[in-house]
Amino acid sequence: MNNNARYQQLREASWRRKLTEAEQAELRAHLAAQPEAPADWDAEVALTEGLNRLSAVPVASNFTARVLQAVERQTAVQSRSRMARWSDWWPSLRWAPATASAVLVVGVSLLVFHSQQVATRMEVAESLVAVADVKSLPAHAEILKDFEAIRRLSQTPPADEELIALLQ
């Protein structure tokens, strides 16, 4: 570290506290080596002393009490403001539970009704399919007695045209 940087470090230290013996010895060596440095150092010391001697500004004896009062006022204002906002909303909120209940009941009812409608339509559709199959049958039921036999009889093999031609 060069001398100027070290001198700057010593100056910065002197702004906040008294220099140690070792630091003062270093400083003296630097000041002896630099002709213009002593005047600057004297000005630094004088300024530091002057700044440190600035008087404390008088503070009122009830300062803390007034701050606490201000805090109380602030807290009271915030509470009143929160209460005012709540009471503005409260009249409409009073009806909210009843409204919500009514909406819930109506919703559930609609859902149940819809489900029933769907089930009913399914039943009707199935019935229609069954009826559609039945409508081609004859009016009297005893015809169906030998249904299978009759059905097989109706299943005749195709005509033997070659035999028919020979018989003719």
Partner 1 sequence: MAHNPKPCWLTGVCYTRRDMPASADPDAALMLRVKRGDKQAFAGLVDKYKQPVVNFVCRMLRDETEAEDLAQNVFLQVYKSAHRYRVSAKFSTWLFTIARNLCLNEIRRRSRHPAESLDAPHPEHDDQPLRQFEDKETSLPPDALLRGELEQKIAQALATLPENQRTAILLCRQEDLSYEEIADVLGCSLSATKSLIHRGRETLKQMLKPYLQTGAWKGTQK
Encode 58-69 in three state secondary structure: CCCCCHHHHHHH
Contact 41, 26 (CB under 8 A): no
User: Is residue 12 part of the contact set for partner 1 (CB under 8 A)?
Assistant: yes
Q: What is the DSSP letter of 154?
A: T
Contact 23, 13 (CB under 8 A): yes
Print the binding letters for residues 82-121 with partner 1: x by CB under 8 A, - otherwise: ----------------------------------------
Candidates 18, 35, 36, 52; binder of partner 1 (CB under 8 A) is 52
Q: How many CA atoms lie within 13 A of 6 on its CB side?
A: 13
User: Is residue 5 part of the contact set for partner 1 (CB under 8 A)?
Assistant: no
User: Is residue 61 part of the contact set for partner 1 (CB under 8 A)?
Assistant: no
Grouping H, G, I as helix, E, B as strand and the rest as coil, residue 37 is: helix
User: Is residue 76 part of the contact set for partner 1 (CB under 8 A)?
Assistant: no
Contact 14, 48 (CB under 8 A): yes
User: Is residue 36 part of the contact set for partner 1 (CB under 8 A)?
Assistant: no
Candidates 50, 91, 138, 158; binder of partner 1 (CB under 8 A) is 50
User: Is residue 60 part of the contact set for partner 1 (CB under 8 A)?
Assistant: yes
Q: Looking at beta carbons, which pairs linking 148-152 to residues 24 or more positions away fall under 8 Å?
A: none
Contact 19, 27 (CB under 8 A): yes
The stretch near partner 1 (CB under 8 A) out of 9-17, 116-124, 127-135, 149-157 is 9-17
- Cβ proximity to partner 1: between 14 and 26 the closer is 14
Q: From the CB of 55, what's the least distance to partner 1, in Å? A: 6
Q: Site residues (CB under 8 A) for partner 1?
A: 8, 11-12, 15-16, 42-44, 46-47, 49-60, 63-64, 66-68, 70-71, 74
